[in-house]
Amino acid sequence: MKPQQAILRLGELTLKGRNRHRFENTIFEQVKRTLRSFEAVSYRKEFGRIILQLNGTDYEELMPYLRKVLGLTSFSPVYSSPLELERIQETALGVIQSLKPLPRTYKVSVRRVNKSFPHDSQEMNRLVGGCVLRAFPDLKVDVHRPEAELRVEIREREALLYCRVDEGAGGFPVGSNGKAMLMLSGGIDSPVAGYLALRQGLQVEAVHFHSYPYTNEKSQQKVIELARKLAAFAGPVKLHMVSFTSVQTKIHAAYNQNLLIALLRRAMLRITEKLAEERGAGAIVTGESLGQVASQTLSSMNTIGRAVSLPLIRPLVCMEKREIIRVAEGIGTFPISILPHEDCCTLFLPPSPSTNPNLRVVESIESKMTWLEDELEEAVRNTRSLLVDEEDVVNQRDKFASFF
Ligand SMILES: Nc1ncnc2c1ncn2[C@@H]1O[C@H](COP(=O)(O)OP(=O)(O)OP(=O)(O)O)[C@@H](O)[C@H]1O
């Protein structure tokens, strides 16, 4: 027995408030975009849910794709039956049989929309429930906390039955909480930070700093690949490629001691803030995680972060590396992130970067770099921007599905 439909449920927050229709539409469009390679599927909105008509498409094949849609809390395969009692009972048995593992307790909930159907909801609860109990003698009824709830909807033309509930990505629809710039390096952390920001409803534009020709083109290609992975959740992602070579070499020539990393990171942040102003973004997202490296001590984060006035969002700040890696594996960025790459900031590393950079000292060094502001402006002017879309989902279907 194969399901004919799927019900997709939207998060409660999405369904409330003034922007409800906009949020619903965002998710609706994202579902259609994500499933675009399944040409037979058709879509409709219904009472804050999305209904897919599968038209022969295998529900299991859709699942890894549906899990990428942010703002969907859960989804269920739905079985259709003609409006005849015996056929509805037969379908109910099939639905229970399809649950793996079989539940120990269950309840039936019938809703009769079609009042011309001869049995009312109470009667149907009994007629369907009794039939299930006879077929599965080990199953017990628990109306308060059942392991499975078999829902039966008696509609005008058919009865719809479903029981299984698969968990979705949750979160908010992309863009429902505004826009932020994501500082995207080639490492493990920043793509995860980007995903968490997207899941929280932020639309992100990525900014990458490279020091070509000191860093090679492969490193830039790697960042494009990472942005592609984020695009699977967000739709096409704008990626701003900033050449940091000139800023970096000038700062390095003027100061080459233990505060160099703090100076370079502050310059990056200030360029990102300028791009954010141009692009109408209200925050900067980074992949910093407390204590990971010298530039991520509390003191370093403070001295570096003070370079800008936009809010800095650090989704990973209190996550440990194992958790971060688990998310990176789930969203498919991990295998890309661990490929070898050259990061611009590791090129001119001082022998012992300070873990406790003093803000006043850093500001005083910067105040002597009278050319710095012009250099930052120049870097913004020379930024190359591209729109990165996810890989061709039709050809990559097998690879894509194995991420979850
Ligand atoms: N070349 C870069 N381009 C854009 N952002 C960068 C770059 N290098 C670092 N960042 C930002 O600064 C954050 C901290 O970088 P750092 O190299 O100190 O830490 P990390 O733990 O190695 O981060 P990641 O794994 O994301 O590279 C990164 O997560 C990213 O947001």
Higher pLDDT, 197 or 257: 197
The SS3 call for residue 112 is: strand
If you measure from the C-alpha of residue 360 to the centroid of ligand 1, how many angstroms do you get, rounded to a whole number?
24
Give me the helices (H) in 14-58, please: 20-34
Closest CA relative to residue 70, chosen from 179, 230, 280, 228: 230
Is position 184 annotated in a ligand binding site? yes
Cβ burial, residue 297 (10 Å; 0-12/13-18/19+): middle
- Ligand 1 site, residue 245, Cβ cutoff 6 A: no
Backbone angles phi, psi at 209, to 5 degrees: -105, 130
The pLDDT of residue 399: 40
By the 8 A CB rule, do 238 and 365 touch? no
Cβ of 272 below 6 Å from ligand 1:
no
- Confidence band for 323, pLDDT divided at 50, 70 and 90: very high
pLDDT of res. 1: 86
- 91 C-alpha to ligand 1 centroid (Å): 54
Q: CA-CA distance, 299 to 100, in Å (whole number)? A: 51
Ligand 1 proximity of 187 Cβ (cutoff 6 Å): yes
- How far, in Å, CA of 282 to CA of 277, rounded? 8
Tell me which of 190, 264, 301 to substitute to probe ligand 1's pocket, judged by most ligand atoms within 8 Å of the beta carbon: 190
Which of 6, 5, 156, 151 lies closest to 83, judged by CA? 156
321 within 8 A of 349, measured Cβ to Cβ:
no
CA of residue 370 relative to chain centroid, distance: 42
What is the per-residue pLDDT for 319?
Answer: 96
**Span(s) in the chain for CATH 3.30.2130.30:** 5-167
Q: Is 384 annotated as a binding residue?
A: no
**Residue 95 to residue 6: CA distance in whole angstroms:** 13
Mean pLDDT over 289-294 rounds to 80
Q: Is the CB of 188 under 6 A from ligand 1?
A: yes
Write down the pLDDT at residue 233.
Answer: 92
pLDDT of residue 378: 98
pLDDT at 390 over 60: yes
The CA 288 to ligand 1 mean position distance, Å, reads 7
Provide the CA 174 distance to its chain's centre, in angstroms. Answer: 8
- Checking if the pLDDT of 70 tops 80, the result is yes
Tokens representing 221?
């290609």
Taking CA atoms only, the protein residue closest to ligand 1 atom 10 is 185
237 against 347, higher pLDDT: 237
Please give the C-alpha separations between residue 263 and each of 244, 259, 296, 354, 358, in angstroms, as whole numbers. 13, 6, 14, 11, 11
| Whole-angstrom distance, CA of residue 324 vs CA of residue 334 | 10
- ipTM value, please give it: 0.97
Q: Enumerate the β-bridge partners of residue 87.
A: none
H/E run at residue 190: helix 189-199
Determine which residue's CA is closest to atom 2 belonging to ligand 1. 185
The CA-based dihedral angle spanning residues 255, 258, 262, 268, taken in that order and rounded to the nearest 10 degrees: 50
| Cα 190 to averaged position of ligand 1 atoms, centre (Å) | 6
Q: Kindly give the number of the ligand 1 atom that is closest to the alpha carbon of 286.
A: 31
Q: Please give the pLDDT value at position 53.
A: 97
Distance CA 88, CA 79 (A): 10
Report pLDDT for 391.
67
Distance 30 CA to ligand 1 centre (A): 29
Tell me: the pLDDT tens digits for 153-171? 999 999 999 999 999 999 9
Q: What is the mean pLDDT of residues 299-308?
A: 96
Cα 212 from chain centroid? 30
Per the CB < 8 A criterion, the answer to whether 263 and 247 are in contact is: no
Q: For a pLDDT cut of 70, what percent of the chain falls above it?
A: 93
CATH code reported for the domain at 179-401: 3.40.50.620
| Average pLDDT, integer, range 276-288 | 97
Does 183 belong to an annotated binding site? Answer: yes
Query: How many A from CA of 66 to the centre of ligand 1?
Result: 30
Where in the chain are all domains bearing CATH 3.40.50.620?
Answer: 179-401
- Is 270 annotated as ligand-binding? no
Give the residue-averaged pLDDT of 293-306: 89
For residue 78 the two structure tokens come to: 């739905």
> How much distance in Å is there from the Cα of 246 to the middle of ligand 1?
19
The total of other beta-carbon atoms located within 10 Å of residue 49's CB is 16
The answer to whether residue 308 scores a pLDDT higher than 50 is yes
- Greatest mean pLDDT among 44-48, 106-110, 211-215: 106-110
Residue 336 one-letter amino acid:
I
Instruction: Check pLDDT > 90 for residue 275.
Output: yes
Per CATH, which fold does 5-167 belong to? VC0802-like (3.30.2130)
Q: Which H or E run contains 49?
A: strand 49-53
Mean pLDDT (the chain) is 91
Would the pLDDT of 400 be above 60?
Answer: no
The DSSP-derived string for 128-165 is: HHHHHHHH-TT-EE-SSS-SEEEEEEE-SS-EEEE---
385 phi and psi angles, rounded to 5 deg: -115, 140
Q: Is any atom of ligand 1 closer than 6 Å to the C-beta of 287?
A: yes
**pLDDT tens by residue, 14-56:** 656 777 888 889 999 999 999 999 999 999 998 789 999 999 9
The CA distance from 293 to 395, in Å, is 39
Confidence class for position 344, pLDDT limits 50, 70, 90? low
What is the three-class DSSP state of 88? helix
